[in-house]
Structure 1
Amino acid sequence: MHTATELRAERLATTIYPDSELASIAVARQIADLIRQRAAENRTCVLGLATGSTPTRLYEELVRLHQQEGLSFRNVVTFNLDEYYPMQPDSLQSYVRFMHEYLFDHIDVRPENVHIPDGTRPQEQVAEFCRRYEEQIREAGGIDLQVLGIGRTGHIGFNEPGSGAASRTRLITLDHITRTDAASDFYGEENVPRRAITMGVGTILEAREIVLLAWGEGKAAVVKRMVEGEPTDSVPATYLQQHPNVRVILDEAAGAELTRVKTPWLVGRALDWQHAPTVRKAVTWLARTLQKPILKLTDEEYNENGLSELLAESGLAYDINIRVFRQLQRTITGWPGGKPHADDTDRPERAAPFPKRVLIFSPHPDDDVISMGGTLLRLVDQGHDVHVAYQTSGNIAVFDDEAIRFAEFVAEYDSMFRLDDQPAETLYHRVADFLRNKLPGQVDSEEVQQIKGLIRRGEAKSACRYAGVPDSNIHFQDLPFYETGRVRKKPIGEEDIRLTMDLLSQVQPQQVYAAGDLSDPHGTHRVCLTAIFEAIRRLKAAKAPWLADCRVWLYRGAWQEWDVDQIEMAVPLSPQELTRKRRAIFKHQSQKDRPLFPGADQREFWQRAEERNRTTARLYDQLGLPEYEGIEAFVRWHF
């Protein structure tokens, strides 16, 4: 765990934990200590609370502390940051509902002590409600500890760019980026409210203590601006630098862009220059900064860019350059499953056994071909026994009209051939009637969810068949955590882990590929990866013999790629292979043209995938390595 002491670049006290699980537990225990301290003093504890995916694990741990360790919330008063406007409290997207589902319904907080902005007030009453909300905070004695998240625009609460440091609780118009990011929760951007009621920046800054949480690579860039940038209303979170008692809590992914992590030599950190990954990171950074091939870097350029200690400890630039160049060169392989009867000393994968049993985990029904479609095709072409496991149904990512179209197909087929006494036309009418009367954000009926799941299952089979994967090697896990019919999922459960252990034990793979992409904005990738990691840990503890001959490779999804200094296996793609990959992605017709949940990037998934593959190839080329049309990248997980 890193701390922020004596780091010139950082303007806020920042702690980086290995993962969000450990970070959330640590913050929950801090809150619990504060609650108990106030109770011992016979005083109330006033908490400012946030919503969204970031604090959910924090709230789960507070619930556990209440239920298993006797933490009482009877002396706690809460004030939530914000609420969409207009918004009914029982709506799926309501923050009132969110707080009750994740926290209030499971603890002993007094209902009269819970305060959440009211999204039902007539507009002419909103200003008075906001004024009274401020009064209630003051009457409670002010907020002792405020929990915050951060949006991609740098907003805290719903204080969008342009919000001043003195702003108070008010009705605000949401930024387009914020509405885009919320589109998945509302099943389309057109359903996202344009306004919200939020505490102001000034209101937040009056809290005695502030803890801001951020997880995932997707938050890394804005975290850097908040922690290291100048205060500006274009990034309202930077105003936290004016507060005397703020702590920023990150996982490693969210802290990846901070200077002390990305370029620690620039902030005077003592580094182990005998550590090969550190040297590789520094040299690739220098080459990219100067836009020069690695083998052309000079002693003077090392000295002038903060890397004089590396030279002093490791010798001439010439020697360092060759060493790092060869490390990168050894990551490139056209044989991702290992090349048979070849010297594998300098290859990322073993030559034997050959062929290998390969198990590719795909969180959604298209992540396999989007993220590693070229590698999948190579593994099949080179004769490996390739299995693909689709961890979730992906049913919420299908448009309603697709479900109607398939139900109509079944009805018309049945009317033509009349194979049974129960006409499928009744199915069509039930589905069509439900979807015509469906409200924005309403959960699909179980029947509709099944149809949408079958649509995605059929597309996944089609893509696998195109790639040459036999039907017997296609596995649909339908992990229970996902099957809520909503964007918001359940926490990972024992059944999710058991199903993953069962499949691993059934296939007994010598290679496993899994999505290591934690930038997925909906959290599905994160949960799926946790299930795999936990399943493998338990199998290892049980001494499963086949694990001794198994390697796990992590790919990234549609949202982000591994940095070039992290890559341990780079699989080059020719123009023809990139075209084949695109055709495999096209088999997922329900995600074509406009995916239901595109995230921040409005391009189609095949466009993102190709650009990402080409960008990685260009980076290798710019560093002086061979030029390819595209590259898919992997990092090994050492379990």
Structure 2
Amino acid sequence: MDQQSLNPETILMQAADNALSGGSVGQPITYEKIPTQIFADSKDASNAVAQEIADLIRQKQKEGKNCVLGLATGSSPKTVYARLVKMHKEEGLSFKNVISFNLDEYYQMEPDSIHSYHRFMKEQLFDHVDIPKENYFLPDGTIPAAMVRDYCTSYENKINAVGGLDFQLLGIGGNGHVGFNEPGSLINARTRLITLDHSTRAAAAMEFGGLHKVPRKAITLGVAPILSARRIVLLAWGERKASVIKGAVEGPVTERNPASYLQAHPNVAFILDESAASELTRVKSPWAVDSVVWDNKMIKKAVTHLSQSLKKPILKLTDKDYNDNGMSDLLAQYGAGYEININVFNQLQHTITGWPGGKANADDTNRPERAQPAKKRVLIFSPHPDDDIISMGGTFQRLVDQGHEVHVAYQTSGNIAVADDEALRFIDFVVDFNKEFGISSPEATKIFTDAKDFLRHTKDSEIDTLEIRHVKGALRRGEAKATCRFVGIPTANAHFLNMPFYETGTVQKNPIGEEDIKIIENLIEEIKPHQIYAAGDFADPHGTHKVCWDAIEAALGRSKHKNFMKDCWVWLYRGAWAEWDIYEIEMAVPMSPDQVLKKRQGIFKHQSQKDGVVFQGEDSREFWQRAEERNQGTAKLYNNLGLAEYEAMEAFVRWKF
């Protein structure tokens, strides 16, 4: 198909013909209507995409031509840009023949704002390579409203004047938007000013410090000019994108999921990490696509999936259920379905324990944790000052109540998650307290006065001052100590690490460095734990949870040869956003109604994160509501599979060296 045939009618006709079909004899069935590559992690995927872009740039250079790139913003392409910058500095990749056009920009938005895509692109790519300033273009978020339509037409005309886009890089929103083409956008939509969907604004609230600060409109390249690119690559990382990716790749072409328009483009690829691909049929139920190796993990995955799909307890699954759902070869290999049911049921039963630190003087053959030593040293890593109580508050309390020596390491200050008005309230309290009791400290008074003045007059282009970050950090540190007291551990066992990578004053963090890793390594050496708990929510490869884990993993790698590490087990918990799949869970800690209520009260100690969270995301619930419903959902899932009924459960997966 040549470039001239890429029109809306052709796209729709092609997509309509691209129905679910089986391959030839011996070939796997495919449910996917878009070429899709799955990588082990986002770093490998990003490197592959960066290499493709670099190869295209070099090929165009050999031909004496410009390379016209369509570029995206957001967290997904950051590693791609970082890799391109490295290739420029270390491999001589030149961008002098590159002309780039960005997809979108918020409206109204000054180009020097810390939230603008102009600034993002300069900081991530343009300022670090040799692309001429006159060669990169981004939509202007300051255009007067009366001129926007003509401006959008001229933006497209500039693309056409240089021969069209050779390569378009895309991310995807949680609602399927590409660029800012929100659900409802038509396939022939042109470049325009668009009103942002609430879910899009909610997802951006993290960067802006609250939903009320997120612009309601944006200028976006339209669907039609995106589809006119000669090559399109879409990136998606993390399980939060999994559902919308499945719809775009396997579902019908629909304006409700604009990414689905890419189905009939002749040269498109979706580049995914394993989490983003987790809902695709070949990943979620691979036995329905091709023959599989029926090892224990696959059997557990298949049987729990079958039970959930049929809404039948595991012990009630029949041979017919297996045969009717593409699992006849499992029966042929292992015999009667009932024996398989018993095996998987027992494995799930053995994950449940009320003794997360191990039960002393008990047979631990079928328990997830060791009985000895009876009293363990436990180190809980909490990326933010509230992840401990939100993600594993019930387990946290059990470990303390059962007599273990529990330490909590708060890896970052969490200061950017404090709203300005919360900081002002805290400042007013300190100032009034000092006045009330005649406490005189000119230096402290000046710090608080300057901080208060800054907060009242700050502009979007400014980041928090060091004083503001200290104030906000102190507020969150006090809340974390309150939680420790509530749970029953001495505040001496609360370790505030203030890892340097985090302290930028913006959502954009620095890469982890030697100092970050050394802080973790020294603490592990000091405590010599028998158990480590860490956040295993890696949805965003640039998110704080993932970066904090990277530092822990590096520190563990350095320490694993030490004698005390031979007795150390590492357990990963998830955040308030998602839970482990049932077949992955290796330890499930049940909670009674009273324990659920106590966990809620512990979360309430973090007052700055209640009643309007800065980083609300698309979920309007408060953290305590998210955590409770997630924990109750896990317990309900166990119950639906035919196991005991509990009020709630916290789940963990063991990470092995």
Q: In which range does the TM-score fall when normalised by the shorter chain?
A: over 0.9
Could you tell me which amino acid in structure 2 is paired with residue 606 of structure 1? W
Looking at structure 2, the residues matched to 384 and 565 of structure 1 have their Cα atoms a distance apart, in angstroms, of: 29
| Offset, 1:431 | 2.8
Task: Describe the SS at the equivalent of 1:183.
Answer: helix
Does the 8 Å CA contact 1:214/1:254 hold for their aligned counterparts?
A: yes
Give the whole-Å Cα distance in 2 for the aligned partners of 1:500 and 1:76.
42
Q: State whether structure 2 residue 128 is matched by structure 1 residue 106.
A: yes
Contact 1:361 / 1:388 at 8 angstroms: preserved in 2?
yes
Match of 2:653 in 1: 635
Q: How far is 1:499 from its partner?
A: 1.6
Aligned with 2:349 (options 312, 329, 336): 329
Q: Find the partner of 1:263 among 285, 302, 305.
A: 285
Q: Show the counterpart of 1:492.
A: 512
Q: Deviations over 1:14-55 (max 9, x none)?
A: 111111111111111111111111112222111111000111
User: Which residue among 623, 643, 649 is the counterpart of 1:605?
Assistant: 623
AA matched with 1:272: V
1:481 partner SS: helix
Equivalent position SS for 2:151: helix
Is 2:600 aligned against 1:582?
A: yes
Which residues in structure 2 correspond to 1:362-511 (within 5 Å)? 362-420=382-440, 422=442, 425-440=445-460, 442-511=462-531
Contact 1:415 1:423 in 2 (8 A): no
Q: Distance in 2 between matches of 1:101 and 1:125?
A: 28
Do the aligned residues in 2 keep the contact of 1:519 with 1:559 (CA within 8 Å)? no
Structure 1 match to 2:181: 159
* Per-residue CA distance 1:256-275 (angstroms, 9 max, x = gap): 111111111222x11111x1
Within the candidate set 52, 63, 75, 1:41 is matched to 63
Structure 2: distance between partners of 1:121 and 1:65 = 35
How many angstroms apart in 2 are the aligned matches of 1:49 and 1:340?
A: 58
Q: Superposed, which structure 2 residues align to 1:239-278 within 5 Å?
A: 239-267=261-289, 269-273=290-294, 275-278=295-298
CA RMSD of aligned residues (A): 1.6
2-structure distance, mates of 1:424, 1:472: 25
Provide Cα deviations, 1:603-624, integer angstroms capped at 9, x if missing partner: 1111111111111111111111
Cα drift, residue 414 of structure 1: 1.9
Structure 1 window deviating more from structure 2 (401-410 vs 152-161): it is: 401-410
In the alignment, what sits opposite 1:559? 577
Does the 8 Å contact 2:211/2:614 carry over to 1?
A: no
1:283-311 CA-to-partner distances (Å, cap 9, x unmatched) read 11111111111111111111111111111
**Matches of 2:216 and 2:266 in 1, distance apart?**
33
TM-score (norm: length of structure 1):
0.96
Aligned match for 2:363, one of 330, 343, 347:
343
Q: Cα deviation per residue 1:61-101 (whole Å; 9 max; x = unaligned)? A: 11111111111111111111111111111011110100000
In the TM superposition, residue 7 of structure 1 has moved relative to its aligned partner by 4.6
Counterparts of 2:406 and 2:423, CA distance in 1: 31
**1:196-345 alignment runs, 5 A limit:** 196-267=218-289, 269-273=290-294, 275-345=295-365
Whole-Å separation in 1 of the counterparts to 2:79 and 2:261: 26
1:16–1:249 contact (8 Å) kept in structure 2: yes
**1:140 corresponds to which letter in structure 2?**
V
Mapping for residues 507-518 of structure 1, pairs under 5 Å: 507-518=527-538
Residue 13 of structure 2 aligns with which residue?
none
**Residues 541 and 547 in structure 2, CA contact (< 8 A), matched pair in contact too:** no
Instruction: Tell me whether 317-326 or 419-428 shows the greater mean CA deviation.
Output: 419-428
Q: Counterpart of 1:387 in 2: which secondary structure?
A: strand
- Equivalent position SS for 2:270: strand
Matched, 1:148 2:166: no
Distance 1:70 1:529 in 2: 33
Alignment check: 8 A CA contact 1:292 1:623 kept: yes
Contact (CA 8 Å) 1:411, 1:424: kept in 2 or not? no
C-alpha contact (below 8 Å) 1:520/1:559 kept by paired residues: no
Would you say the 8 A contact 1:515–1:557 is kept in 2?
yes
The residue identity in structure 2 corresponding to 1:483 is: E
Report if the CA contact (8 A) 1:387-1:473 is conserved: yes
What is the Cα deviation at residue 583 of structure 1? 1.4
Q: 1:493, CA displacement in angstroms? A: 2.4
Which residue in 2 is equivalent to 1:569? Answer: 587
Indicate which of 523, 543, 550 corresponds to 1:523: 543
Aligned counterpart, 2:102:
80
**Which is further off, 295-304 or 480-489?**
480-489
Shift of 1:425: 4.7
How far the C-alpha of 1:491 sits from its partner, in A, is 2.3
Deviations 1:375-401 (A, max 9, x none): 011111111111101111111111222
Q: SS at the partner of 2:408?
A: strand
Aligned residues: 632
Aligned-pair CA distance for 1:426: 4.2
Q: Is the 8 A contact 1:314 1:320 kept in 2?
A: yes
2:555 aligned partner = 535
Report the Cα offset of residue 278 of structure 1. 0.6
- 2:75/2:540 contact within 8 Å kept: no
Q: Give identity over the alignment, percent.
A: 60
In structure 1, give the amino acid aligned to 2:271. Answer: I
Say if 1:511 and 1:148 are closer, same or farther in 2 by CA, change over 3 A: same
Structure 1 residues 474-483 or 93-102, which shifts more?
474-483
2:210 maps to what in 1?
188
Aligned to 1:624: 642
> What are the ranges of 5 or more consecutive residues in structure 2 without an aligned counterpart?
1-22
Aligned to 1:127: 149
Q: Shift of residue 241 of structure 1?
A: 0.6
8 A Cα contact 2:415 2:469, kept in partner: yes
SS of 1:185's partner is helix
Given that 2:34 and 2:264 are in contact with CA atoms closer than 8 Å, whether structure 1 keeps it comes out as no
| CA shift for structure 1 position 520 | 6.0
Q: State yes or no: 1:354 paired with 2:374.
A: yes
Give distance in 2, aligned partners of 1:546 and 1:484: 35
Tell me: CA distance 1:350–1:437, structure 2 relative to 1, closer, same or farther (3 Å).
same
* 1:341 aligned counterpart, secondary structure: coil
TM-fit CA distance, 1:554: 0.6
* 2:613 paired residue number: 595
- Please say if residues 411 and 427 of structure 1, whose CA atoms lie closer than 8 Å, have aligned partners that are also in contact: no
Deviation at 1:8, TM superposition (A): 1.4
Return the alpha-carbon distance in structure 1 between the equivalents of residues 377 and 309 of structure 2: 41
Q: Give the conservation status (yes or no) of the 8 Å contact 1:404–1:428.
A: no
- Deviation of the 1:402 alpha carbon: 2.1
1:390 and 1:478 in contact (8 A); partners too: yes
Quick one: distance in 1 between partners of 2:461 and 2:364?
53
2:382 alignment partner AA: S
Does the Cα contact within 8 Å between 1:410 and 1:424 map onto a contact in 2?
A: no
**More moved, 205-214 vs 500-509:** 500-509
CA distance in 1, matches of 2:426, 2:211: 25
Aligned counterparts of 2:650 and 2:339: Cα–Cα separation in 1: 28
CA distance in 2, matches of 1:261, 1:66: 36
C-alpha change, 1:522 and 1:64, in structure 2 (3 Å) is closer
Match of 2:9 in 1: none
SS at 2:442's partner residue? Answer: coil
